[in-house]
Structure 1
Amino acid sequence: MRVVYHPRFTEVYDIDPAAARGRIEAVLEELGNRYTFVEPEPATDEDILLVHTPEHLERVRRHSHVYELALLAAGGAIKASDLAVQGEPAFALIRPPGHHAGPNSCWGFCWFNNVAIAVEKLRQKGHVRKALIIDFDLHYGDGTAKIFSGNSEVRYCHLSGQMRESVLRQLEVCLERNADIELIAVSAGFDNHEADWGGLLKTEDYTAIASMLKAMGLPVFAALEGGYSHRVLGKNVVAFLAGLS
Structure 2
Amino acid sequence: MKVVFHERYKEVYASDPAAAAGRLDLMVEELAQSFPFVEPRPATDDDVLLVHTPRHLERVKKRPHTYEIALLAVGGAILASDLAMRGEKAFGLLRPPGHHASPDSSWGFCWFNNIAVAVERLRRRGEINRALIIDIDLHYGDGTANIFAGVPEVTYHHVEGISRERFLRDLELTCRGEFDLVAISAGFDRHEADWGRLLKTEDYEAAGKMIGTFAREKCRGRVFAVLEGGYNSDVLGKNALALLKGLEQG
- Give the TM-score normalised by the residue count of structure 2: 0.96
CA displacement, residues 97-140 of structure 1 (integer Å, 9 cap, x when unaligned) = 00000000000000000000000001111111100000000000
Specify every segment of 5 or more residues in structure 2 that has no aligned partner in the other structure, as ranges.
Answer: none
The 3-state SS of whatever aligns with 1:195 is: coil
Q: How far has the Cα of 1:14 moved from its partner?
A: 1.1
The 3-state SS of whatever aligns with 2:183 is: strand
Q: 2:100–2:143: 8 Å Cα contact kept in structure 1?
A: yes
The match for 1:194 among 175, 185, 192 is 192
Q: Match of 1:242?
A: 245
Q: Match of 1:67?
A: 67
Distance in 2 between residues matched to 1:54 and 1:32, nearest whole Å: 37
Which has the higher mean CA deviation after the structures are superposed, 14-23 or 78-87? 14-23
Aligned-partner residue type, residue 84 of structure 2: A
Q: Match of 1:92?
A: 92
Q: Match of 2:140?
A: 140
Distance in 2 between residues matched to 1:31 and 1:153, nearest whole Å: 33
Q: Match of 1:106?
A: 106
Determine what percentage of the aligned residue pairs are the same residue.
62
The match for 1:229 among 223, 232, 239 is 232
Distance in 2 between residues matched to 1:140 and 1:202, nearest whole Å: 20
Q: Match of 1:25?
A: 25
Q: Match of 1:2?
A: 2
Distance in 2 between residues matched to 1:98 and 1:25, nearest whole Å: 20
Q: RMSD across aligned C-alpha pairs, in angstroms?
A: 0.7
Q: Tell me if 1:156 matches 2:178.
A: no
Q: Match of 2:210?
A: 212
The 3-state SS of whatever aligns with 2:55 is: helix
Distance in 2 between residues matched to 1:125 and 1:150, nearest whole Å: 18
Aligned-partner residue type, residue 214 of structure 1: G
Aligned-partner residue type, residue 180 of structure 1: E
Aligned-partner residue type, residue 101 of structure 1: A
Aligned-partner residue type, residue 145 of structure 1: A
The 3-state SS of whatever aligns with 1:23 is: coil
Aligned-partner residue type, residue 77 of structure 2: A
Query: Number of residues paired by the alignment?
Result: 243
Q: 2:213–2:247: 8 Å Cα contact kept in structure 1?
A: no
Q: How far has the Cα of 1:33 moved from its partner?
A: 2.6
CA displacement, residues 192-225 of structure 1 (integer Å, 9 cap, x when unaligned) = 0000000000001111111011112130000000
Specify every segment of 5 or more residues in structure 1 that has no aligned partner in the other structure, as ranges.
Answer: none
Which has the higher mean CA deviation after the structures are superposed, 110-119 or 123-132? 123-132
CA displacement, residues 127-166 of structure 1 (integer Å, 9 cap, x when unaligned) = 1110000000000000000000021110001012210111
